[in-house]
Amino acid sequence: MNNRILLMSVVMLLALSLVAAGCPRPAVEPPGVLVLSTTTSLYDTGLLGYLEPIFEERYNMDLRIISAGTGIAIRYAERGDVDVLLVHDRAREDKFVEDGYGVNRRCLAYNFFLIVGPADDPAGIRGMSPEDAITRIMEAGIKDPQIRFVSRGDDSGTHAREIAIWVSAGHDYEMVRISGPWYVEAGAGMGATLRMTNEKSAHTLIDIGTFLAFAGEVDIVPLVEEGAILFNPYGVIAVNPELHPHVNFEMANNFINFLMSPEIQQKIGEFGVVDGRSLFSPLARDCKRKGCPTWEECLLPADGR
């Protein structure tokens, strides 16, 4: 008999005899649970789905992801329904921390918003500033019912940025949204809003990551890509255990450290490149320039203290 086969047979017989003798099998520790609330743009692009199994295997965790608009995601975190928050609305993120709901906010990644629309550019906005472009869409849409703008209308980070652009352009947003049928509120996530915009041959504001992820499915194109107001950073925050003692704070900080690590930052930058353009750019190593600590400062002990 082949020596390899003989050795395998001996091992199998030994294992069976140990079980028969009542020797217990080594216990396998069940995975823990970490609950994350996040924006639809990170979920729709597939980035979190890409990173999820890496984190789960490394930490023996079941990462449960709740995808919603930023406003809803933050409310989940405020109630203590989740352990960690990952969104893209810096003003609300800062307020979330200042109000005591979150700790250890770190910059994760960034991309840019775009204003997209029909390739023939019926409103004539190509190359304009975001403020001028959105004003032109409104003026043209009031005159021509074929020219429309589709808003997320869902209290998301993208919706908040749209409002900020209207305000920066000198408009009262509440007056804008009731100014005519040219302005359509989707009340949906970014992927669904993009599809609606495409079906209506309309315009919308969208992060470049989601647009590139869906680029092969739509006919609309980027028309406005330049402007400081289009910069779109993403932040990750642990829910404060002093307010919600039941949260998995240690693992929330492990998740933050995982996202900030050079290995995962590189994976973020390499994920989903379309026509040479990345869906997201790493921000941890560049976050001091962007207003956050450097990545070395992000790597806290597991207890986050």
Residues 108 and 213: their CA atoms lie apart, in Å, by 19
Say if residues 285 and 107 touch (Cβ distance below 8 Å): no
pTM: 0.82
- Supply the range of the domain harboring residue 200: 112-230
What is the reported pLDDT for 286?
Answer: 72
Q: Do residues 93 and 126 share a domain?
A: no
Confidence of residue 202 (pLDDT cuts 50, 70, 90): very high
CA distances from 243 to 56, 67, 80, 83, 183 (A): 26, 23, 8, 12, 40
Confidence of residue 299 (pLDDT cuts 50, 70, 90): low
Q: Do residues 159 and 217 share a domain?
A: yes
Q: Do residues 116 and 143 share a domain?
A: yes
Average pLDDT over residues 117-131: 97
pLDDT in tens, 148-195: 999 999 999 999 999 999 999 999 999 999 999 999 999 999 999 999
Q: Do residues 163 and 124 share a domain?
A: yes
Q: Do residues 47 and 106 share a domain?
A: yes
